[in-house]
Structure 1
Amino acid sequence: MELPLRKIIHVDMDAFYASVEQLDNPELRGKPVAVGGGSARGVVSAASYEARKFGVRSAMSGYLAKKRCPELIFVKPRFDRYREISQRIRNIFLDYTDLVEPLSLDEAYLDVTKNKKGNPSASLIAQEIRKRIFEETGLTASAGVSINKFIAKVASDYNKPNGQKTVNPDEVLDFLENLPISKFYGVGKVTTEKMYQLGIFTGKELKEKSVEYLTEHFGKSGAYYYHVVRGIHNSEVKPDRIVKSVGTEHTFFENLVSEVFMLEKLDDIAKELDRRLHKKKIAGKTITLKIKYSDFTVQTRSKTLPYFVADRSLIMETVKELLYQEKPKDSVRLLGISLANLNTDVKEGEKKTVVAVQLKFDF
């Protein structure tokens, strides 16, 4: 069965957190800015484009970021402010379609196949949305436009910052064949290296591999790679994305060496998790304890209960059990607790429909 092609837009704000800080504080404009902590324990949450020129990236330690860019200015994150602007941007999206799937505060998918403006051109809609975002918030956004979520996501990164890329239906296959494998959404650094070792450097070489070959080397992801390189990705834009897990974690200024101190910190983390769970009216069965040691190795320990929990005291009972399950191998720099197997989970049957790329389509 052949499904009709969709008109999908992926909007991605440009260096969102850092750009908000530069917007609110004119003295930061044009300067290398990192949102996060600049101490040895700090982590970069976002970096301005001026900072990125020096190799500063999100998830990088504050120490390394400062080493790469001595002039780097660190600012503390203000998530309430980011959420406020994100909601204003989302309201702009909703003027065009109700089919909006937020991925985070700074990016979302929009299905504009049928839209509130009656505009047949997804490219023009994307341009109009980006123009409105700039006029109403002072921030820039990039966009990708194509026939499915995968290609739109890849395309939005093509002309960043403040750019746009449309991959028309008749351009999809050529676009994917010429795309470096590192640019494929869902192919991380480790997988990229593995593909290089197998002689796969572009979509063209990926396309030459059979589904059996890819499954043999990449497991379940093999079928995903086989289909997306052929422009096949049937995932719909879902306005209400199902939350798969809820978690909270904390990095400490000084390493923890005693389980007594760890339990104190875990209790604080569980309180925050409790607050988030009750706010979202979520409960779960699988509790996971995350431990990051001083050498940056990460260990996770999980337990699945026969009933749903959301209460701090019940969560802590299991967390204590997980902590004492095995003595920490070293001093600890980060602890986290997450809850999965949620009461919001919905089991869906696998979609096996294959979509053929149709050439005549008004984009």
Structure 2
Amino acid sequence: ASYPARRYGIKSAMPMGQALRLCPDLVIVRPNTRVCVERSKAVMDILLQEAPSVEPASIDEAFADVTILPEPIDKIARDIQRRVNAEVDLPCSLGGGTSRLLANIANAFGKTQQPKDKPPNSIMIVPPGEEKLFLDNLPVGKLWGVGSRTEQALEELGVTTIAELAASSIDMLSKRFGNPGRDMWYHANAIDPSPVLPLPIQKSAGRQMTFQSDTKNEAELKLTLRRLSAEVGRQVRRAGLCGRTVTLTLRWEDYSSFTRQMTLHNPIDRDDQIYAAAVDLFHRYWLRGELVSLI
């Protein structure tokens, strides 16, 4: 939902019918997934260049651990924001703190301080030692894991602010809400030891296809192999990768699997190169007449 639309109470992921009831003159624009993915990758690339550890959280959100960097966190945030604004032509809001929890809430709070008629481009940093001061007066609904139902249940217990939640009994919260209640208490007390977990380095790319019915049609098998090779090619090129080992897996009608691989002299990333190696393996090891359920 665009920021002008949000003034009418329209929210992200809201059903279209409900959104149109709130704003009958709403302009509906189909998303361009390709552009979204490209812009997301461009932003993530900037983060990876500016921070030693980055954990993507969604297509438009990530956590970055900059603890070991010598620069002040506000300067790092300004540098990232400036680059995203200039290089990707997108607004960029950042939150900073001593934990993922604080950074996330600071980011959301910073956005609320921006003009309501355009996308926010904010920076909000919670200094070390001021975590409780920042959290205490916020409503409990700002905490991770506190949705509308949980917020209502807490309100029935007389708990409406994070300070009141922090002062509650952890045993009472655990008994009432289970493990999420314990987590709420820790978060209300600014305790969040969860680390930033960067994505592991991608070492392989693969695609598979399960046939609706087992097939021994060689033309169909090779056409499917060509399509899968093209998908793998796009995947590795998008990631800026190439590889030397091509692996082919076939699953027979009895659900047993057969895997063989070929290691090439030089790295490849083109669809035709991947297909050439894969179909070579296919010709070597597939016996005519054998039914295949997956390739």
The TM-score, its normalising length taken from structure 2, stands at 0.64
- Residue 110 of structure 1: SS of its match in structure 2? strand
Give runs of aligned pairs for residues 1-363 of structure 1, distance below 5 A.
Answer: 47-115=1-69, 118-119=70-71, 121-160=72-111, 161-240=120-199
- Between the aligned partners of 1:53 and 1:128, the Cα distance in structure 2 is 30
Cα distance in 1 for residues equivalent to 2:188 and 2:9? 30
Q: For residues 162 and 16 of structure 2, what CA distance do their matches in structure 1 show?
A: 35
- Measured in 2, the distance between the counterparts of 1:82 and 1:215 equals 41
Q: Shift of residue 174 of structure 1?
A: 1.4
Q: Percent identity?
A: 34
1:32 alignment partner in structure 2:
none
Larger gyration radius, structure 1 or structure 2? 2
Q: TM-score, normalised by structure 1?
A: 0.53
Tell me which residue corresponds to 1:12.
none
Q: Secondary structure at the match of 2:109?
A: coil
Q: Deviations over 1:324-344 (max 9, x none)?
A: xxxxxxxxxxxxxxxxxxxxx
Structure 1 CA distance for aligned equivalents of residues 179 and 110 of structure 2: 31
Runs of 4+, deviation exceeding 3 Å: none
Shift of 1:205: 0.8
Q: What secondary structure, in the 3-state scheme, does the structure 2 residue paired with 1:75 have? A: coil
Question: Unaligned stretches of 5+ in structure 2?
Answer: 112-119, 201-211, 213-227, 236-250, 255-295
Displacement of 1:71 in angstroms is: 2.1
Q: Secondary structure at the match of 1:169?
A: coil
Q: Distance in 2 between matches of 1:62 and 1:174?
A: 39
**CA distance in 2 between partners of 1:177 and 1:96 (Å):** 32
1:72-107 CA distance string (max 9 Å, x none) = 111112211111011111111111123000001100
**Structure 1, unpaired ranges of 5+:** 1-46, 242-263, 265-274, 281-310, 315-363
- The structure in which a higher percent of residues are helix is 2
Distance in 1, Cα, partners of 2:136 & 2:52: 33
CA distance in 2 between partners of 1:205 and 1:95 (Å)? 41
- Name the residue aligned to 2:282: none
Q: Which has the higher contact order (CA 8 A, sep 6+)?
A: 1
Letter in 2 for 1:114: I
Q: What is the distance in 2 between the residues matched to 1:231 and 1:206?
A: 11
What RMSD over aligned residues (CA atoms) do the two structures have, in Å? 2.8
Q: Give yes or no for contact 1:181–1:192 (8 Å, CA) kept in 2.
A: yes
Q: SS at the partner of 1:144?
A: strand
Any idea what the Cα deviations from partners look like across 1:94-150, whole Å, max 9, x if unmatched?
A: 1112300000110000000113xx41x111111111111111121101111000000
Instruction: Measure how far apart 1:201 and its partner are.
Output: 0.4
Partner Cα distance (2:137, 2:22) in 1: 32
Task: Say if 1:145 and 1:165, in contact at 8 Å, map to a contact too.
Answer: yes
Q: How many residues align?
A: 205
